Amino acid sequence: MPGFLMKKLKTQHSRFKIKYRKWSLVLMLTSVCFLWSSSQSVSQLIKAADKKAVEGDYYAASLYYKDALKKDEESIELNFKYAESCRMFNDLEGANTGYRSVIKLDKQNQFPLAYFWLGENLRSTCECNCEEAQKQFHRFQTKYRTKDYYYAKAQQEIEACAWVRDNTKRVDSITIEHLGKEVNTPQSEFNAIHVFPDKIQFSSLRNVSSDKKNPKYLSRIYNQPPNPEAIYNPNGTNQELNIGNGAYSPDSRKFFFTQCEQKDKSTTRCDIYVTKYDNYKWTSAEKLNECVNDAKATNTQPSVGYNLSGSEILFFSSDREGGQGMMDIWVSKLNADGSYSQAFNAGDKINSQGNEVTPFYDINNRKLFFSSDWYYGFGGYDIFETKGESTNWSSPKNLLQPINTPQNDLYYTKAIDNSKAFITSNRKGSYFIEAETCCNDIYAYNTGKKMEHKIDTLIVANLDTLVVKLDTAVATIPDTAPVVQIPTSAEPRIFVDDKLKRVKQLLPVQLYFHNDEPDAKTLSDTTSLDYRKTYEAYSALRFEYQREYPKRLKKEEKQTAQREIENLFEEKVDKGYYDLVAFTSQLLQLLKGGNRLDITIKGYCSPLNFNEYNIKLGYRRVASLRNYFFHYREGILLPFISSGSLILKTESLGEEKAAKNISDNREDKPNSVYNPAAAVERRVEIISVELK
């Protein structure tokens, strides 16, 4: 198993210590000719099997051990070795057969871990036999007195089985789709990356040798057909290493991936690299600095997002010192000089005694997805989501069935437009060579929440300084703005009416702001920020709102208040932004059809300041929305604005339309700032769109 997926597990049979719990994302096969003649002795077969196990070829080892068992089926140690080799390449049925034989034969309690691993495997079989698994974990605890990781994990699994009984209901609206032979093979595929328009890149372990007699299995990044280039090799990669785990930055101008060196025959160590899109080509890959790549650890599975201040943040998995358990999720910030800051652990709200891996930051919804083998789940690795940043995260939430299964479910990613989610799993239905749960395939499902992809709304660096002047009807087009041919002939009226109807169905588009934002404590009537940034900063304050709003409420009212805040952000703040993205996309289609449009925008405030201040604040909020339109898709709307095809009419109503029962007491922040009734007054509305 290549280490860019996870550091190789080493089984020390004599001491029953396994450094990491095995998650076999890849079945690494070698071409071995087995001489299973009756002339081979048990000792010869065991010697050959042990050699293959040391080399990391657990499939080959299991076949040798199995053949040896035909000659010596009463050997406890041989049965344990057979079970371990099967487990290491996810042949759960073969492993269970071996562990049951060990339990039956082991009268001296030499191999107590057989109970533990049998329980783990029963949790991970397709049927998830939780009741029997609980019994095995209980038996393990009675025979294994050391209060270490295994004892704690057994207790966690006992409790998880109880959790499963209460969470077996499937989400019927989700249908998991196996991506088929266009992507998946009997080897292992993992880490789907959505690329425009509707294809994916993914990693896979395959034979890269043209010499049929001497196959060479290495991981590479592949393009989904019909892309003419089957393999994507970033510039400057070492073709002797495993290459995989790709991730694009949100603006698609950086591509991160891992390269893994072979430390010994069964262990690899990985580092994270980046290549940048510059001057219409990708630069040679560079290894990230030692703040990210710890030379004594494996560093893998990169994912990129932004923090509240707009700085680029790199998430990745590592087993370096200073973590909470085994593999943990770590975070590093991009510095102004292009280097990365010293990575820090994401904290114990996410990381556990077990393994937390394959982070994915959903920039559209500001959520971090990851997989864990510790938190309550259905077996193996489950996928979880959390909200927050830095070390301040909400409690991980299991995505439930059918996204998660009793098998390993990892590498959660989303399509650019949010319409699909991709997962990697060795669940029933995956292609396999020998054992049904041996190998991973890529699956997908429709989210039902399609939106304009996030890259459309990113600010390009040389547009950042564009400031909206409210008395200027036509914006100045930067030299870098895209050249758009303004249509001169209108499309048929029937099509226009249909498009206009879809746009108007979204009205009013209501966009919300934190108190006194953007650009607090100023009398300016404009801002350089665009609404995307103000939304992301506001959205990240939901935990603060849940903490502050209920402060002065009675105990029995606090839970209701927290639900009110959750509804405020989900049904108002988040929904408003998603409506804006959909509105702008449909608006562009109307403009491309040769139509001329007027949009009316109004800004509102809560009554927390004097009215003259609030009127200017309302204009700043309107200006942030105008900036959003200016920055949309690297300025694609600017030519329409310049030509007069798109007119943005603006007005600030200050606090005059605010509800009269809203608190304007600055000392009473729970009600004047954090109360949902006050929050909904701080908004901008797109109230109309009309053909000219």
Q: Which residue has the higher pLDDT, 33 or 234?
A: 234
- Dihedral of CA 236/239/241/247: which sign? positive
pLDDT at 19: 30
pLDDT at 117: 95
Q: Give the whole-angstrom CA distance, residue 287 versus residue 564.
A: 46
Q: Which residue has the higher pLDDT, 170 or 480?
A: 170
Band (106; pLDDT cuts 50, 70, 90): very high
pLDDT at 562: 87
Band (356; pLDDT cuts 50, 70, 90): very high
108-to-74, 105, 113, 114 alpha-carbon distances in Å: 14, 9, 13, 13
In the predicted structure, residue 472 carries a pLDDT above the cut 50: no
| Tens-place pLDDT, residues 193-226 | 998 667 899 999 898 888 888 888 899 999 998 7
Band (417; pLDDT cuts 50, 70, 90): confident
pLDDT at 192: 97
Q: Which residue has the higher pLDDT, 448 or 381?
A: 381
Q: Which of 317, 249, 255 is nearest to 25 (CA)?
A: 317
Please give the average per-residue pLDDT across 655-674, as a whole number. 64
Q: Give the whole-angstrom CA distance, residue 77 versus residue 169.
A: 41
pLDDT at 435: 67
What string of DSSP letters covers 195-247? ETTTEEEEEEEEE--S-TTS--EEEEEEEPTT-S-SEE--TT--TTSEEEEEE
pLDDT at 177: 96
Please give the average per-residue pLDDT across 420-431, as a whole number. 92
Average pLDDT in the chain: 82
Q: Is 245 left (phi over 0), alpha (psi -120 to 50) or beta?
A: left
Q: Give the whole-angstrom CA distance, residue 327 versus residue 320.
A: 8
Domain with CATH 1.25.40.10 in the chain: 11-166
Domain with CATH 3.30.1330.60 in the chain: 454-691
pLDDT at 635: 85
pLDDT at 432: 78
Proportion of the chain above pLDDT 70, given as a percent: 83
Q: Give the whole-angstrom CA distance, residue 115 versus residue 312.
A: 46
Q: Which two tokens stand for residue 172?
A: 């019927």
Q: Which residue has the higher pLDDT, 131 or 184?
A: 184
Q: Which residues have C-beta within 8 Å of that of residue 684, sequence separation ≥ 6?
A: 510, 511, 513, 531, 601, 602, 603, 604, 618, 621, 622, 624, 625
pLDDT at 603: 80
Q: Is 516 left (phi over 0), alpha (psi -120 to 50) or beta?
A: left
Half-sphere exposure of 425 (CA within 13 A, CB side): 30
Instruction: State pTM to two decimals.
Output: 0.62
- Cβ–Cβ < 8 Å for 222, 205: no
In the predicted structure, residue 118 carries a pLDDT above the cut 90: yes
In the predicted structure, residue 10 carries a pLDDT above the cut 60: no
pLDDT at 491: 56
pLDDT at 467: 34
Domain at 454-691: CATH code: 3.30.1330.60
Band (513; pLDDT cuts 50, 70, 90): very high
Please give the average per-residue pLDDT across 452-477, as a whole number. 33
Kindly report which listed range (215-219, 352-356, 651-655) carries the lowest average pLDDT score. 651-655
Count of all residues that appear for the chain in the document: 692
Kindly report which listed range (60-74, 320-334, 466-480) carries the lowest average pLDDT score. 466-480
Backbone dihedral angles phi then psi of residue 435, each to the nearest 5 degrees: -115, 140
pLDDT at 376: 93
Q: Which residue has the higher pLDDT, 217 or 1?
A: 217
pLDDT at 470: 34
pLDDT at 521: 86
pLDDT at 195: 85
Please give the average per-residue pLDDT across 121-139, as a whole number. 84
Band (187; pLDDT cuts 50, 70, 90): confident
| Sheet containing 328-333: order of strands | 299-306, 312-318, 328-333, 344-345
Domain at 11-166: CATH code: 1.25.40.10
In the predicted structure, residue 411 carries a pLDDT above the cut 60: yes
Q: Angle of helix 531-539 relative to helix 611-631, nearest 10 degrees?
A: 110
Kindly report which listed range (212-216, 260-264, 687-691) carries the lowest average pLDDT score. 260-264
- Cβ–Cβ < 8 Å for 559, 546: no
| Tens-place pLDDT, residues 22-53 | 333 333 333 333 444 345 789 999 999 999 99
| Tens-place pLDDT, residues 276-331 | 988 878 999 999 999 999 999 999 999 998 887 778 999 999 999 999 989 999 99
Which run of H or E residues covers position 443? Answer: strand 441-446
pLDDT at 478: 43
- Cβ–Cβ < 8 Å for 534, 632: no
- Dihedral of CA 200/205/206/208: which sign? positive
- Dihedral of CA 147/151/155/156: which sign? positive
Please give the average per-residue pLDDT across 110-120, as a whole number. 95
Q: Which two tokens stand for residue 271?
A: 């580092």
